[in-house]
Chains A and B, each alone.
Chain A
């Protein structure tokens, strides 16, 4: 009576497990095989490491090492934006938590609304605004919008509201520390866990963003990897026969495309594996009370 129910349960879970895992397994194995082997052979099989090296050689040669450039751009955009986010959002969260100034509630409510609103809803409005200011096509036109990260402010705010005893601040003030010193000496060191959280969320969001850089950048040398991948896809005869004879010379086929996709997600995958719990909190905006 009990056993069949258990079996059914496991069967359902395993079916979904296959659905979630097989595409990733395929992606990891594909660069080890030739385009021909991918089509003719068993869909899930290992080729050789030599083939991976060859696929990398082709990918790296594409458009004069532009793949490296895309990865470097992505690192540059994501790291600079995240650095600004940290410098701006942690003090802001602190100020909102300890402050009682007029307008505090308004800033907090606006922050919450923008945080929950899908980021894509603001991309075209931001484009229209920056376009009117003639600020399109620069690194800063991507980095600065990325650096506006209301979720970071909210995380810092919640952290200081729940984890910072007011007595501690008063003690520092009695000792004659100014407001800035109190923040730097008492509040900031306390916020290490929340700094790590904001770093992860902001970095992942920036790394994966496609729409904003796609709209704001025109030169393929400036692309981050997400937009670069779509450029690569448009240049391969594997999915785009219209590339035709020209496609043969770029040498980008399925193994190269799979390798490009795989390398593009490595930094995020590392973050994911090590921070499942923390990252899931991102979905619920820190609202899960533990």
Chain B
């Protein structure tokens, strides 16, 4: 009787740990490259070189750095331009493509999507060529719209947020267009048919019926892109190599943090800026996970 009871308890205990051994090898990775760096960056941000507690001193100190506000301003302008173009053109193009499902639509989707293969460093190099009036296929646009006849004029500081936004749009928009198109396809055809019978034209249907139904996906795209946009690093870092010293190596916030760590050995200051950025990224992620209902943590 007692042994039977003990056996049952033991089995219940084992069942409670069911699945756990499979997760164990993953935990060190989660801890070492997810949690520990975050905790360590926080610790550095709130202490000085000797490890003494300094409260918000590093945050105040980096904020007062003459490069801090410009760097965050650059990133903010870039992110706003990028988000604006993403929302207007991605949603617009997805609606245009969804009007009629046919081979033309599939061809365009593929065409829009393929620059995604050139994400990161490669896309920046391609656009350096596109922005060089001496070789660019769009040199007449550079001449007449941007007013640039040499490369240095194309990448004038005032143009940079727009250039980076364009590069990000070029590589990323196609993927989102396919996502939005997929979301539009989940709208029941009866609904559209009913609206048409009620006398709604294609534009009314697009704006009044389709748009509200994909609102969730638009919000997801905006939050995710905002969090990603603030982390900008590759684009300005590479352009800076080709800029005749016109572009500072602390153009974006992440670059400033990088320079603080690498050039000045100021790890506490670098950690403070990294934490600023981490908070933005984390806030976006938590917002998506808890509010969007797009991801599941329960079965």
Contact = CB atoms under 8 A, between A and B. Distances in A.
Main secondary structure of the interface of B (DSSP, over half): helix
Contacts of A148: 29-30, 32-34
A210 B120 contact: yes
B128 A239 contact: yes
Contacts of B41: 124-125, 128-129
Given A92-B26, A114-B34, A229-B122, A280 B16 contact: no
Contacts of A209: 120
Interface in B237-269: 237-238, 241-242, 244, 254, 257-258, 261-262, 267
Contacts of B112: 16-17, 20
Contacts of A247: none
Interface string B211-248: 00000010010001001101101100110011010000
B35 to A, nearest CB: 7
B157 interface: no
Interface string A178-221: 01100100000000000000000000000011110011000000
Contacts of A118: 227-228, 230-231, 281, 284
A91 B19 CA distance: 9
Contact of B182 (A109, A161, A288): A288
A26 B115 contact: no
A66 interface: no
B19 A97 contact: yes
B29 A283 contact: no
A253 B41 CA distance: 41
B71 interface: no
Contact of A96 (B19, B113, B125): B19
Interface residues of B, number: 107
Interface in B169-218: 170, 174-176, 178-179, 182-183, 202, 217
A157 to B, nearest CB: 9
A227 B234 CA distance: 10
B137 interface: yes
Interface of B: 15-23, 25-27, 29-30, 32-38, 40-41, 44, 89, 92-93, 96-97, 99, 104, 108-122, 125-130, 132, 134-139, 151, 170, 174-176, 178-179, 182-183, 202, 217, 220, 224, 227-228, 230-231, 233-234, 237-238, 241-242, 244, 254, 257-258, 261-262, 267, 270-271, 274, 277-278, 280-282, 284-286, 288-289, 294-297, 299
